[in-house]
Structure 1
């Protein structure tokens, strides 16, 4: 008997497979199509000939842990202990899985804010715990009254995603004030903060949980080198959490993957000495602005894009089809693959919006927009 009877092929896989079958431009799955920084590939090539091919320490390459601590201090003015409060993970997904498995017990509840990324629910179910799915407002901002009312004596964890995938919205100061009040009122409540797009925000700067001292003792943050340095296939991320929580997470991590790719960790450690992570926002803002300008020539209505490399758009002026049918028709008839939003919602809520990934070279974005203008 299946432990996960309702889990099928993800919408990302389905749309990417259809894109391949129909030779469509893939703006669906969130991976860049432009080259990786030559400085990083040069470091990787050199290190591949050196003695870095055996197991890394379970918690991570010592040098990389120290570089992450330095990055956190530089980015957020927060000092964390690299030996006790940081864990290098096999991508953000493994970090999320290990955290939930370590900290959530059977019959406890975990709040997920929909639309949500699809890796949150499964580890909760495998804990024999209960996911509590709460819809964001139609503008993809948190409904704090509903969230507060959903918290019970069984609520162990709330998962937040900021900057938010799929909407591209980012949280405000007021959002964090509301979250802090809820955490203070519920002493057993923990926060899992998915911040994999933390360095990709635009006019309004990202507010990290690392900037909120009231949350530090109760919060686990998730970051992704794959998203930050557009090396998604490397599958390297990291967690930051207080030592007492991290000790429990490490127990699961140790028997899940033991340690993370040693060559990748060594390369990232060196790369952090030469790369400017703060230039990433400007790079992606140019792409966002270019793509938005192109889409203004279409019938799509563009929603705010404050962070991530995703642009959400309403197609209500084009069609009243459900978002899955519309997205599949885009692939077959127009030749552009996107992601419908309804699969991110437990109840299948359909607001007639789709998500474009603009982490593509300009020629790809132009060709895609020209096709979309035919609608």
Structure 2
């Protein structure tokens, strides 16, 4: 009797344990399949799943919404208005395809977006609007016109993001990441943006954005790598901005720009510069490799760009018959010091200082690549 009682208690314990595990699992997350979503294995059988995904989000605030591998057409934009964690199985196998509309619109704080692929036929992949503390990680965006828009967004962390194009599809990605309004303390890291018109754009606003960190980011084959219309405190480090048709960095109306340990290269095919500072002050460029192909110069400072420092950089101009650095007439108190200038046949430093004696050019080295 005692033996049977012991077995019964063990059996009862197992039943309770499995029930508790099931309950905790259910509390942790829910699959969109439970709400009628039907993942397709190929494009021919894919259907519109936007209503099922929307219902799963709306009915489960604060929980994990799981999207299994498969193809899901989105006939309507997905709107997130409370905190959830929207998680796919993989950013290569969980595919969301907007049909001539935007992809995901976030209007709630504390949202996590992870592990999925937004593929073409849409306008904006992800919009973060007037919220704080959003995380976007392991997301692939391809052939949307605009990758991610941050509108008055604070404390957004973007990591392991890929934005590029499929050459067999349209449209081309116009802009990878856009910051507008007053977007503050945002962070972009370990990401790659390729074959776009503009990699990252900070748009002009009455209330300037503040505090953007770009770290370990690659921007390749863009017309402009970073186009900045105005921000307070922009830090770029350990990044590669390469093969830009126009500017690698086009920086306007900015204070507190810090660029370090990065590769910046423009092909210069449109007679521009690798770096242009316009009405920009208190910036510091150090230990970067800065190169230009056929532009008008490698670096241009103009329109009251003052108190900027370039130290310990390698600056190379393929066209050695032009000035490597041009300091405009209204510039002042800029420092060009301890840089290595490279060219193919230039024995003298080619720095055109139109701003006068308050600009300091000290202890730079010219390297002839033919020596």
TM class, shorter-length: under 0.3
Q: Which has the larger radius of gyration?
A: 2
- Normalized per residue, the structure richer in strand is 2
- Normalized per residue, the structure richer in helix is 1
For normalisation by structure 2, the TM-score amounts to 0.21
